Chains A and B, each alone.
Chain A
């Protein structure tokens, strides 16, 4: 078997900025392996249509995952409220359709940013426990959504969102938006003061605090960006399903976290990139696709996803721990 020779830890030359090549190389190695196996064994895999399907299914989760990447790099671990926030953004988007597409998008984004940034502020300035806080926030947001919607699906009075379901060059618009957001996030992380501070705060919060870096402000910025990404996902979900009920967000929370983790971003913070998350999202999507084509159930897809995420998490941890000793 030649495939087994794909070494996961091929020595990528060390780049500056303290980026460790390990996790990325591992994910790429695993991905390459998966694609190879899939290509060899599954006939319908290497078709253009299938590639489109993979990208399309990666888009919704991917957009949220890119936002989650920033939050995780900043060391705030994760948010467990993404699904509910996306649902609310979708509802707001649909309910404001009569004011025109632009206004509806802006209002939905503002809503997502506001909901998420508040959580970021409590986490950044008060060092609240992000897991329990976001669980509570998810609960509250879900409750409010039920309250305001009366538990019934929200429809648009005058749909203005059709353009968002366009398929230029055979790919859904959401895929292009995912790419744009990825590039934007990558640029923020690599090229801006705030992005650099995100890495520093995530790597060593105590050091950042002692050095007088604006820990709280930087954390809020990351969460605000995350909120915007969730809202964009909500907008696309709403356009896609044309209505929004309280369960619209579905498994978005866990899928997004899985994509970020599979991309090799360290959950403890300080490491990671938007590009890796994009890779993680596509990888998970490829795996689902292959399993689907080969007739496995959704359960098996989730199982493989979970095992892969666990493997990556352990590897990333071992690498960083070794680096420190």
Chain B
């Protein structure tokens, strides 16, 4: 076998939870091969194993017929595997040229400036960055241009296999077209391309073959020409989820609503407006870079450059400062519970009461009994074992950690709105149901609940009102019954209603 890449029975789990169970596919020379799957299907884990960032538990990777063990990024580079990571991985402090050469094991030890400049100029031009000076600091470029530089880096490395993980998530359509052209050019030289994307129509347009993963398993590999977007969505989702009708709307009580007027974050979010009534759950549906998560972050005070007006319970919210936002009654649950959520080394009890300490103290002195009672009540409500409150949160499963994170904001007299970014990311099925129940009961208790998610099932299950977003703008709003495919279309190809 001399296929450039053969993946055979790859498997990998994290802490006993399998992320990739059994994945096999083959990529031929000069082939553009798409890897599709819904969130949690295992795409990123496969990419990480192929690029040397993770080692597989089982299975083989064959490069040019040789079974290889890719223990590091360098090992993968030496085998001719270039990568555009899901996360933007360029260094703003360096110049554009330095970024193009960064990590390229083919780059000479001593810089050959003229060669590098000429080459850099060429790859930049190919991606439509003709106006960018290679000596310009990368920090002076916008996010989209930085992404293009990273793509240029991978495409210019003379690799045998280029992996592109969500390369166009933050790009405009014009820029995306340029990327496609460059990818085709690279492929025509015989280089194989593994292309991971949520944007299904571009997948079908660009790629030769599509492999679909679901729940860490290989579902099917077929030529792109035989597929339509709808068929692809069905394969990714198993069956088409849909919502018949929204739950009955409660009496709107404008005095307790969260009103957002023309909220904007430079470069991320454009004029988002919404009046969210208490008792209902509002879902923001959008992929990475859609602005859905930025709505929540801006409300929570984490975007100091946000503009617009926000009011809660008819009082204006100073939403550029997290302390003021919290005081106004907005509680935020970020999408990254490890680095921006929980206090991992601290006990469950400490985490549960972390944001309500003043209520548990008299004159600044904590009342241990009150704290204990409060923590126990929250644990019971959130479905956590009330007798293990002294255990550090780090030892809990993802689902239980998330219960602590959400539970921390419940049953508070001075919280009127819950903002949740990906409330069930990395949570098992059981935990997911429990968290959904928590959010429903919070809404029933009269809170405004607003969450952002990329998961169709979650959006349909939980959202009374679903707002789809793409490229920082609102695409559609669905109060009644809606098909999952419609949401998916909005999120991946939608055009702003405005």
- Is residue B342 contacting chain A, with contact meaning CB distance below 8 A? yes
Closest to B326 in A: A212
B340 touches A203 (CB 8 A): no
Query: Closest CB of chain B to A72's CB: distance in Å?
Result: 15
- Is residue B392 contacting chain A, with contact meaning CB distance below 8 A? yes
Chain A 7-43 near chain B by CB (<8 Å), digits 1 or 0: 0000000111110100000000000000000000000
- Is residue A192 contacting chain B, with contact meaning CB distance below 8 A? yes
A211 touches B332 (CB 8 A): yes
Q: Which of A192, A206, A207, A320 contacts B364 (CB 8 A)?
A: A192
Query: Closest CB of chain A to B87's CB: distance in Å?
Result: 16
B300 touches A15 (CB 8 A): no
Q: Which of A15, A18, A191, A210 contacts B322 (CB 8 A)?
A: A210
Closest to A266 in B: B345
A15 touches B390 (CB 8 A): yes
A212 touches B325 (CB 8 A): yes
Max chain B CB contacts within 10 Å: which of A196, A213, A214?
Answer: A196
B358 touches A212 (CB 8 A): no
- Is residue B346 contacting chain A, with contact meaning CB distance below 8 A? yes
Given contacts A200-B343, A200-B350, A210-B340, contact A192 B302 (CB under 8 A): no
A196 touches B366 (CB 8 A): yes
Closest to B371 in A: A196
- Is residue A209 contacting chain B, with contact meaning CB distance below 8 A? yes
Contacts of B340 in A (CB 8 A): 204, 206-207, 210
B346 touches A17 (CB 8 A): yes
- Is residue B115 contacting chain A, with contact meaning CB distance below 8 A? no
Given contacts A196-B357, A212-B301, A213-B354, contact A203 B339 (CB under 8 A): no
B344 touches A324 (CB 8 A): yes
How many angstroms from the CA of A324 to the CA of B393 in the assembled complex? Answer: 10
Chain B 300-327 near chain A by CB (<8 Å), digits 1 or 0: 1110000000000000000000110111
Which residues 193-222 in A have Cβ within 8 Å of B in the complex?
193-194, 196-197, 199-200, 203-204, 206-207, 209-215
- Is residue A96 contacting chain B, with contact meaning CB distance below 8 A? no
A207 touches B342 (CB 8 A): yes
- Is residue A170 contacting chain B, with contact meaning CB distance below 8 A? no
- Is residue B2 contacting chain A, with contact meaning CB distance below 8 A? no
B332 touches A210 (CB 8 A): yes
- Is residue A271 contacting chain B, with contact meaning CB distance below 8 A? yes
Closest to B322 in A: A212
Q: Which of B327, B334, B392 contacts A210 (CB 8 A)?
A: B334
Q: Which of A192, A194, A204 contacts B342 (CB 8 A)?
A: A204
B302 touches A210 (CB 8 A): yes
B332 touches A193 (CB 8 A): no
How many angstroms from the CA of A197 to the CA of B360 in the assembled complex? Answer: 13
Given contacts A211-B326, A212-B326, contact A196 B350 (CB under 8 A): yes
B350 touches A17 (CB 8 A): yes
Contacts of B357 in A (CB 8 A): 193, 196-197
Max chain B CB contacts within 10 Å: which of A191, A196, A209, A210?
Answer: A210
How many angstroms from the CA of A271 to the CA of B344 in the assembled complex? Answer: 12
B366 touches A18 (CB 8 A): no
B345 touches A270 (CB 8 A): yes
How many angstroms from the CA of A18 to the CA of B349 in the assembled complex? Answer: 9
- Is residue A323 contacting chain B, with contact meaning CB distance below 8 A? yes
Q: Which of B350, B355, B389 contacts A211 (CB 8 A)?
A: B355
Given contacts A192-B366, A193-B357, A200-B343, contact A212 B332 (CB under 8 A): yes
Which residues 350-372 in B have Cβ within 8 Å of A in the complex?
350, 354-355, 357-358, 361, 364-366, 368
How many angstroms from the CA of A323 to the CA of B346 in the assembled complex? Answer: 11
Contacts of A197 in B (CB 8 A): 357
Chain A 179-200 near chain B by CB (<8 Å), digits 1 or 0: 0000000000001111011011
Max chain A CB contacts within 10 Å: which of B332, B349, B350?
Answer: B350
Given contacts A196-B357, A200-B350, A323-B394, contact A20 B345 (CB under 8 A): yes
Contacts of A270 in B (CB 8 A): 343, 345-346
Q: Which of B339, B345, B361, B394 contacts A192 (CB 8 A)?
A: B361
- Is residue B116 contacting chain A, with contact meaning CB distance below 8 A? no
Contacts of A193 in B (CB 8 A): 357-358, 361, 364-366
Query: Closest CB of chain A to B73's CB: distance in Å?
Result: 20
A191 touches B366 (CB 8 A): yes
- Is residue B341 contacting chain A, with contact meaning CB distance below 8 A? yes
A16 touches B344 (CB 8 A): no
Query: Closest CB of chain A to B328's CB: distance in Å?
Result: 9
A18 touches B339 (CB 8 A): no
How many angstroms from the CA of A223 to the CA of B486 in the assembled complex? Answer: 55
B343 touches A203 (CB 8 A): yes
Contacts of B341 in A (CB 8 A): 207, 210
Q: Which of A199, A206, A212 contacts B346 (CB 8 A)?
A: A199
Contacts of A18 in B (CB 8 A): 343, 345-347, 350, 392-393
Closest to B332 in A: A210
How many angstroms from the CA of A20 to the CA of B390 in the assembled complex? Answer: 12
Contacts of B332 in A (CB 8 A): 210-212
Query: Closest CB of chain A to B440's CB: distance in Å?
Result: 23
A207 touches B343 (CB 8 A): yes
Query: Closest CB of chain A to B488's CB: distance in Å?
Result: 30
Q: Enumerate the 9 nearest inter-chain pairs by beta-carbon distance, A residue then B residue, closest first.
A: A212-B326, A18-B346, A16-B390, A18-B347, A193-B357, A203-B343, A206-B340, A193-B361, A212-B322
- Report 9 cross-chain contacts, Cβ distance below 8 Å, ordered by A residue: A17-B346, A18-B347, A18-B350, A199-B346, A200-B343, A210-B332, A210-B341, A212-B323, A212-B325
In addition to A18-B345, A191-B365, 16 A-B residue pairs with Cβ atoms within 8 Å of each other are A16-B390, A192-B364, A193-B361, A193-B364, A193-B365, A197-B357, A203-B346, A207-B340, A207-B341, A209-B322, A211-B322, A211-B326, A211-B354, A213-B354, A270-B345, A320-B345
Chain A interfacial positions (CB closer than 8 Å to B): 14-18, 20, 191-194, 196-197, 199-200, 203-204, 206-207, 209-215, 270-271, 320, 323-324
